[in-house]
Amino acid sequence: MAVVGVSVPRLDGLDKVRGATRYTADLELPGMLYARVLRSTYPHARLLRVDASRAARLPGVVVLTRDDLQGMDPCYGPVVRDQPIVALDKVRYVGDVVAAVAAEERDLAEEALDLVQVEYEPLPAVFDPLEAMRPGAPLIHERTLAMDAAILPGPIVHLERSGNTRSSHHVEQGDVEAGFAEADEIFEDTYTLPIIQHGHLEPHAALATWEASGKLVVYSSTQSPSQVRTQLAELFRLPESQVRIIVPCLGAGYGAKLYCKLEPLAAALARKARRPVQWALTREEVFLTIVRHAAVVRLKTGVKRDGTLLARQIEVVYDTGAYADCGPRVAKNSCHSSAGPYRIPHQRLTSYCVYTNKPPAGAFRGFGVPQVCWAYESQMDDIARRLGIDPLELRLKNLLREGDQFVTGEQLTSIGGSRCLEQVAETIGLRSAENESADLRLQSADWSQSALCNLKSQINRTQHSALVRGKGLACMIKSSTAATNSAASVRLNADGSAQLLTSAVEIGQGCGTTLAQIVAETLGLPLERVSVSLPDTDVTPYDFGTMSSRTIFSNGHAARQAALQVRTQVLDVAAQALEAAPQDLEIADGVVRVQGAPERCLTFAQVFQARFGTAVGSLFGNDDFQTRGGVDPETGKGKAAAFWFWSAAAAEVEVDTETGKVRVLKAAISVDAGKAINPRQCALQNEGSMLTALGSALFEELVFDNGQPINASFLDYMLPSLEDCPDSFQPWLVETPHPDGPFGAKGVGEAGLGPVAPAIGNAVANALGGVRIRDLPLRPDRVLSAECRVEGTQHPALGGLPP
C-alpha cells in the first residue's frame, strides 16, 4: 500500500505548531457578548431566591435565571435529562450553575455577577457513594418519576428507580458460588480510585447565535456534534435541520467534551440576548464541569492452585456526582469488562452509578475500564505471588482466545492480547523464558518478603539504599461502544483531488490525516490531494461522536466504503472508455490504467470528460456504517462491543522508601491496532495514554473538603510534568486485523491507558516485596504507610457495600 501504513506527517501539524489553528474560544461574531455564570457555594441547598434584577439593570447586560426557563423543560443529559440549564429548585454541588450573565466586556459580566442575589437553604449533603446508597441518605434528585419520564430513547441502561442509585448493571455466567466452592484459594480485596479531571489543554467553549429565521448556530468544542444537535433540537423544540453545530479543532477532550456541556446555556442566553454569546470556561470551572468517576471496586476471585481462574464476583460503585451525565453508560461498560480479559467460567459482575453532591462525572479515556483494570490486574499479581506463578505466565494461561465467548455471550475475534503482553514483558525485562533475571519473584532479591518495616529501617541508614526498584505488567480488555452510527461522504473532483465529509472531531488525535490516508489509498491519490472536513452538522453527515476510540474503525470504515463507491464509478467509466474490464484496471498517481498496458490510461479529468461531457463535476460516494449491538438491560447479555481493545503495559519503577516517592524509570505499552494506518500517530496515542495514566497512577486526585473542591486548579492539582516521565518509553503496536475495520484497523486512542496504572502498581508492589497499595494515586504518604497494612485484608476506610 502506498499511503496506508505509512507514518505521514500530520496535515494539521504546521498550523498547530505555528499557532495558526483557531479554537472555539478564538472565534468572534459581531455583537458578541461574553457569558459568565454564578455557581453554587453550597454542596446541597434549596434555592429560596434568585434575584438578578440589579444585574439586569446594568446597561448592556443580559441575565438568565430559572425565571427565564418557564415554559420549557430546561433539563438535558445524554442518558437521563437531570441537569438543568441553570438550577431550578435547588443546587446539588459546589459549582452548580445558579444564574448566568452576558455582557459586552468580560469585566462587566463579572461585575454583573456580583449583583445577583441568591438565598440558599442548606440541605444535608452526601459525598461518599457508598454512604449515598444507604437508606436514609439525603436524596439528591427528588424528581425521580419525572426524570424517568425524561429517559432518552434506546435500550441504553437499566435504570434504578429509587434513592441516589441512578442505575445498576449486572451480568453473570456459570454459578459463581459453585466456583468459589471449587477454588483452592480465594482472593477478596477492595480497590479505590479518586475523582480525577481530564486535564485537556483547551477549556470548554461554546459560541451560540440565533439567526433571525430562528435557526440556532453553535460553535462548540464538542466531541459529539450530532448528539449535541439532537439534544439542542429537543431542548428548544426545533427540527435538527434548524440547529447547526460547528466544531473547530479541539485542544483535546478525553471524553470531557462529550454530550452537551456549555451549549444549552450559551444558546438560552443568546436567545434572550438576541445576540451571539460566547461562553468559555476558566480552568477552575473545568474542574467543576466534568470529572472522571471515583470508584470503589470489590473483587473476589477463586483460583485453582495451578493458577486457573475459576470464579470472580465484582461489585463496582461509580460516583457520578450531582448529575448523571453518561455515568450509567460508564457503569454499564465497566460492568461487562470488570472481570478482565480472562476465561473465567463463573462470573457475577455488578456495577452501580450513584449520585453524590460532587461535580458530575462522565466519560474519560477508557470509559470505566481503567477503574476495574486497576483492581483486577493488581489482584492478578497478588494471585501470582501467592501461588508462586510468574505473573506473565498466569495471565497468558488464563487469557481469552480467538472464538471464546465473552461474559455477554458474544464471540470474540481479533485478539492480540497475548502478543501485547509478551511484547511489553520483553521490553521491560519480565519475560522469564527469555530473560532469567526478569523473573518477577526473584526481583529485588535484597528485600525480605514480609518485613517492610525492618527493611525501611535498614534503608534509612544510607541514602542510597533508600531507593528500591521493581517491575510490573498488566493487560486489559475493553469494548468499543455499540450500537453506533458514522456516515461519510466522499467527493472526487475532476482534477483528481477528493474531499471527505465527516463529522469526526479533530481532537488532537490526527483523525483528519488518518482518514485522508484511508481515502487516498482507496482512490489511488497522493495524500495531499485529499482534504477532510471539520464537523458542521449542516453539511457533514451524522456521527455518533468522537469517543470510544471508534473514529478510525467507524468513520474510517464509512470513509473507505464511500471511497470504494467512487472508485467503482471511476473504474466503470474508465473501463468503458478504455475497452477493458473494470477488474483489469488499476489507479495510481492520479491515473487509471490497464494493468500490464500502461499506455492505455486515462487521467481523472479524462474520466470526468467521459462521464459528464466536460471535465467538471463531482463523483459521490456515501456510506452510513452501523456498529450494531447493545446488551439486554436485565441480563447484560448481547453484543457489548463494536470491537474489543486488547492492550498491555509494563513498567519499571524506583521507590524512594524514605520519601515515599515513586518514579517510573521505564515503561512500555502495547496495543492491538488491528492495522496501524499511521504507525507514528498510533505510537503517539500510546505515549499519550502513558502520560495520562502516569498522572492517575501517581499524582492526580481532585480533593474535597465537605463538598468543597480544594485543589481545582493547575497550581494545586498535580499533573505529571516532563520530569516525571519515564526515562524510556516503548510504544508497541500489534496488528490483528479486524474484519470490519478499514484495512483491518481497530481503535488505539484509549486502549493503552487502562493497564498502565496497575503495571506501575504491580512494579511498586514488586519493589516493596509484595506489599500492595490498593488506592490510587500511589502518593508518597500511602507508600510510606503501606508497611502498616496487612496484605489481603479489606481497606479499613471502605466498609462493605450496602445490602
**Which residues make up the interface to a copy of itself (CB under 8 A)?**
11-15, 17-18, 20, 22, 26, 28, 30, 153-154, 211-215, 226, 230, 233, 239-242, 244, 483, 485, 487, 489, 491, 493-499, 501, 528-531, 533, 536, 538-542, 544, 612-620, 622, 624, 626, 628
Element (H, E) at 598: strand 597-603
As measured in angstroms, the least distance from the Cβ of 559 to a copy of itself is 14
Which residue, 403 or 613, has its beta carbon nearer to a copy of itself? 613
As measured in angstroms, the least distance from the Cβ of 240 to a copy of itself is 5
The residue type of 617 is: G
Residue 313 φ/ψ region, left for φ over 0, alpha for ψ in the -120 to 50 degree band, beta for the rest: beta
As measured in angstroms, the least distance from the Cβ of 598 to a copy of itself is 23
User: What residues pair up with 185 in beta bridges, in sequence order?
Assistant: 303
Which residue, 535 or 770, has its beta carbon nearer to a copy of itself? 535
Distance separating alpha carbons of residues 44 and 676, to the nearest angstrom: 48
Show the DSSP H helices in 69-171 as ranges.
Answer: 106-114, 129-133, 144-149
Determine the straight-line distance between the first and last CA of the chain, rounded to whole angstroms: 58
Element (H, E) at 143: none
Element (H, E) at 2: none
Q: Evaluate whether 69 touches 316 at the Cβ level (below 8 Å).
A: no
Element (H, E) at 162: none
Nearest Cα residue to 375 out of 459, 453, 320, 317: 317
Nearest Cα residue to 364 out of 297, 295, 283, 285: 295
Q: How many residues does the chain have?
A: 803
- Burial (Cβ within 10 Å: 0-12, 13-18, ≥19) of residue 188: middle
Nearest Cα residue to 428 out of 672, 729, 755: 729
- Burial (Cβ within 10 Å: 0-12, 13-18, ≥19) of residue 600: middle
Reduce the DSSP state of residue 377 to 3 states and report it: helix
Q: Evaluate whether 498 touches 491 at the Cβ level (below 8 Å).
A: yes
Residue 777: is the preceding peptide bond cis (ω within 30°)? yes
| DSSP letter string, 624-643 | EEEE--EE-TTT--EE-EEE
Q: Which residues have a Cβ under 8 Å from the Cβ of 140 and sit 6 or more positions away?
A: 44, 92, 126, 132, 164, 322, 355, 356, 357
Cα separations in angstroms, 259 against 59, 154, 413: 34, 16, 30
C-alpha cell at 110: 463579572
Q: What is the dihedral of CA 726, 731, 732, 733, to 10 degrees?
A: 160
Reduce the DSSP state of residue 50 to 3 states and report it: strand
Which residue, 449 or 499, has its beta carbon nearer to a copy of itself? 499
Which residue, 17 or 710, has its beta carbon nearer to a copy of itself? 17
Collect contacts of 25-30 with beta carbons under 8 A, ≥24 apart. Answer: 25/202, 25/203, 25/205, 25/221, 25/278, 25/280, 26/248, 27/207, 27/219, 27/248, 27/278, 28/278, 29/207, 29/209, 29/276, 29/278, 30/276
Which residue, 142 or 211, has its beta carbon nearer to a copy of itself? 211
**The pairing of beta strand 530-532 with beta strand 498-501:** parallel
DSSP 555: I
As measured in angstroms, the least distance from the Cβ of 295 to a copy of itself is 28
